[in-house]
Structure formats: structure tokens, C-alpha cells
Amino acid sequence: MLCTYIGLADKDLIHPEPNEQKDCSNLTITNQAAGFTQLYPSFSSVSMRKTWVLNDLYVDPDHRGCGVAAQLIEHVKQFAHETRAVRVSLSTAINNETAQRLYERTGFQKDQQFFHYAYTL
């Protein structure tokens, strides 16, 4: 199965966002990974178009709170648009309120129509 990685090196950050809890103005630029996402392709038989599953989003601890996750999500949305996908889907833990705020702030909407189930082997 093909999976697609979208990463950001700290040298590629557009501009660290100011944050009340963290001073992002003095991040050391080292060309190291600031974060990445992992996308898996899927297909919607209803729309007959590709979809992407955002399986992982990781930000290096030194870069958290500086807008890296939001920039990664913008890259994911652009990639999905360029590949003519109908949507990007993801899931997060019920108690991960930080991630939920990020996803909602970047345009994702919580599914109000369906429950999702898994069968663990």
C-alpha cells in the first residue's frame, strides 16, 4: 500500500506563530525535521474519487506550540486538492482536546452522522 509523507524541516517554516505559552522567535534553524504527516490513500465509491486518511501527524517537541502542525495540515490539504481527492479523513482520541482544536481550527468538521467501529485482532 502506498503511503505519502509530508514533512517540514525547520528551515521551511513559513513563520513561527507567536504563542502565549512558548517563545517561538528563537527557534534554532538546523534543517532538522520539525514534523511530518503520514497519509494513506482510500477511495469513495459514492463520489468515485480518491480520499486520503491522515493517519499520523507528529511535531518535534522543540517545535510544538509554534504553528508547525497547522502548516503541515495546510500542506496536506493542498496535496489532497492537487490529487483531486474528495476529502481527507482522520480520527483522534476523544480526550485529545488539543488535536481536536487544531483540526477544527484548520477546517475539519467532527462527524455528527456516523459512529466508527474497529475490530481488533
- If you ran DSSP here, which 8-state letter would residue 17 be given? P
User: Phi then psi for 100, rounded to 5 degrees?
Assistant: -60, -40
pLDDT class for 16, splitting at 50, 70, 90? very low
Rounded-to-integer distance, Cα 51 and Cα 48, Å: 10
Residue 78 in 3-state DSSP? Answer: helix
- All three cell numbers of 111: 462527524
CATH T-level topology, domain 1-30+55-112 = Aminopeptidase (3.40.630)
Interatomic CA distance for residues 79 and 56, integer angstroms: 15
Cell triple for 22: 512558548
Q: What is the pTM of this model?
A: 0.78
Q: What is the pLDDT of residues 29-39, one digit of tens each?
A: 556 677 888 88
Q: What is the pLDDT of residue 30?
A: 58
Three-state secondary structure call for residue 36: strand
